[in-house]
Amino acid sequence: MNPTFRLACDLIAQASVTPDDRQCQQIIRSLLAAAGFECETIRSGEVTNLWARHGTRGPLLVFAGHTDVVPSGPAEKWTSDPFTPTVRDGRLYGRGAADMKTSVAAMVIAARDFIHAHPDYHGSIGFIITSDEEGIATDGTDVVVKTLEKRGIRPDYCIVGEPSSLNRLGDTIKNGRRGSLCGQLTVFGKQGHIAYPKRAINPIHLAAPALAELAAEVWDNGNEYYEPTSWQISNIHAGTGANNVIPGELFVEFNFRFCTASTVKDLKKRVHAILDRHGLNYRLDWNYSGVPFLTPRGSLCDALSGAIRDVTGVTPELSTTGGTSDGRFIARICPQVVEFGPITESIHQIDENTLLADIEPLTAIYRRTLENLFL
C-alpha cells in the first residue's frame, strides 16, 4: 500500500458529510506539520478550515480541496459500506473516493515528498482545506480567502483537486469555470374562475411569450475558452391545485451559467428589458452565487500539462465546462487557478470509486508540477 492510498482510506473512513469534518483535517494537519508546515485552523460557524504553509518566499503555490462529502444516500444500496474504504475489481470504493479525498491525499503526499527531496526549493507551498464545499460554501474557502487577503497573502498559483478527468486520468484540466446567476421571477395576474376569463388575468398566458424570448435569446457567443452563456428555467409553478381556477401568480426560477464574455450587470439589464417589453407586472429577485474565472495558457497550465504528459503520456485539454467550485473564491486573490483530479464518472453516485491504478500517477503529477514550477 502506497502512502497516498493509505491516507485516502483514512479520510474515506471519516463520515464527513457537510459541514462535519470529523477527524479529516486533524489527520492531514499531523502529516503536514511533520513535514514542516505551519498549520492554522480557521473555524466559521459549523465549518472547519485548514490553512497551512511551508516556506516564506515566493512564488507561492496553494493546493486547495475539501474534506466534506455529500450524503451517501441509502447505505443498503451500496455494494459495500460507503464509509468503509473497500477495494475490489481494481478500484477503491467509498464516499469521497473520487470527490475528493483521493486528490487531497495525493496533494499532501506529493508536497511532503517534494519537500523531503528538495528542502531548498525556491518558493512556498500552501494548503486550503475546507469542510464546506459541498454545502452552501459561505463558511469555507471564502472565509479563508478573506483572511489571507487581510494578511496580504496572495498566492501565485493554485491547484484545486476537484475531479476533472473525463475518460482517463490527465485528459482534462479545468482552467476556469462559468459564473452562476439565479433569478426568482414572480409574474402577477388576477385569480378567477376559469369559465370567466374576462374577469381574471392569467399570468401564465402573459408570461409565456416573454419566457419563449428569454429561452431563444443569444446572450453571447462565448470565447476561446468558454461555450456561450446559457439561460435555463429550473422551476416553474402556478395554480391552486384546482383545474377550474385561473392562478393569480406564476413563479419561475431560472439560472444563467455565464462566461467572461458577459457581465452580471448586462445580463440583468437585458432580462428586465425583455420582461418590461412584454408589459408584465412582476417581481424579480437575483442571487449571484458564482463568479466566473479563467486562467489562460501560461506558467501553471504549462507546468501541470507537462507533468501530466511526463507521467501518463496524455496531452490534456483545457476546459471550462461544469458547475461552480471553490476556485471562484481563490481566483479573487490568485491570478492562476486550475482544477485537476481523478475521473468524474462516479462522483456523487452510489458506489463512488476511483481506479487504484490512478492513485500513484495522480500523486506523481502533483509532485512533478511542483518540480516544474520550483526547480
Q: Nearest-CA neighbor of 78 among 358, 356, 352, 323?
A: 352
Q: Nearest-CA neighbor of 7 among 82, 108, 98, 81?
A: 108
Residue 29 CA to its chain's centroid (Å): 23
Angle ∠(137,255,289) on CA atoms, nearest 5: 25
Angle ∠(177,180,184) on CA atoms, nearest 5: 170
Residue pointed to by grid coordinates 479563508: 144
Written as nine digits, the cell of 106 is 495525493
Q: Amino acid letter at 109? A: I
Active-site residues: which are they? Answer: 68, 133
List the 86-88 sheet strands across, edge first. Answer: 86-88, 91-93, 353-355
Q: Amino acid letter at 252? A: V
Distance (Å, rounded) from C-alpha 35 to C-alpha 40? 15
Pairing of strands 47-54, 124-130: antiparallel
Residue list, annotated binding site for Zn(2+): 66, 99, 134, 162, 348
Residues 6 or more apart from 188 whose CB is under 8 A from it? 203, 248, 249, 281, 282, 283
Q: Amino acid letter at 144? A: V
Distance (Å, rounded) from C-alpha 136 to C-alpha 82? 23
What is the rounded radius of gyration, in angstroms, for the C-alpha atoms of the chain? 24
